[in-house]
């Protein structure tokens, strides 16, 4: 996580090994943690739900100017969008997607 965030300050030893938006924000991170969850839980349902949540988070981070390294650590290439982290449009997108999620939960 970011070194100035609360989580980043609590887990500072991890920042020695993992840069912000590095492995955890790559396709390899998504695959690794989804597979580990499946091994621990032995539940396809939980694993798919985790995969969808994790992947949507990474996709949203790819929309920001900081972007993500989808093939980190193999390539330095970054996917970047035009949205600034913490800007109004980020919060607007969050609330729109949250409303869609609530709507889908109510109709399913």
Q: Which pLDDT tens digit goes with each residue over 68-95?
A: 999 988 888 899 999 998 899 989 988 9
Closest Cα partner for 21 from 51, 52, 65?
A: 65
Give me the torsion for CA of 5, 22, 50, 62, rounded to 10°.
90
Q: Is 79 helix (H, G, I), strand (E, B) or coil?
A: strand
The two three-digit tokens of residue 49, written as one number: 């739900």
pLDDT at 10: 73
Q: What are the 10-residue block averages of pLDDT along the chain, 108 residues in total? A: 64 64 88 97 95 93 91 88 90 92 90
């Amino acid at each position: 996580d970011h070194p100035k965030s609360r989580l980043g300050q609590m887990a500072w030893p991890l920042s020695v090994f993992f840069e912000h938006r590095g492995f955890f924000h790559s396709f390899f991170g998504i695959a690794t943690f989804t597979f580990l969850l499946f091994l621990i839980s032995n539940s396809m349902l939980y694993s798919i739900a985790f995969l969808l949540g994790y992947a949507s988070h990474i996709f949203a981070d790819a929309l920001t100017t900081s972007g993500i390294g989808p093939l980190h650590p193999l390539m330095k290439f970054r996917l970047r969008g035009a949205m600034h982290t913490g800007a109004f449009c980020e919060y607007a997108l969050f609330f729109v997607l949250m409303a869609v999620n609530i709507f889908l939960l109510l109709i399913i």
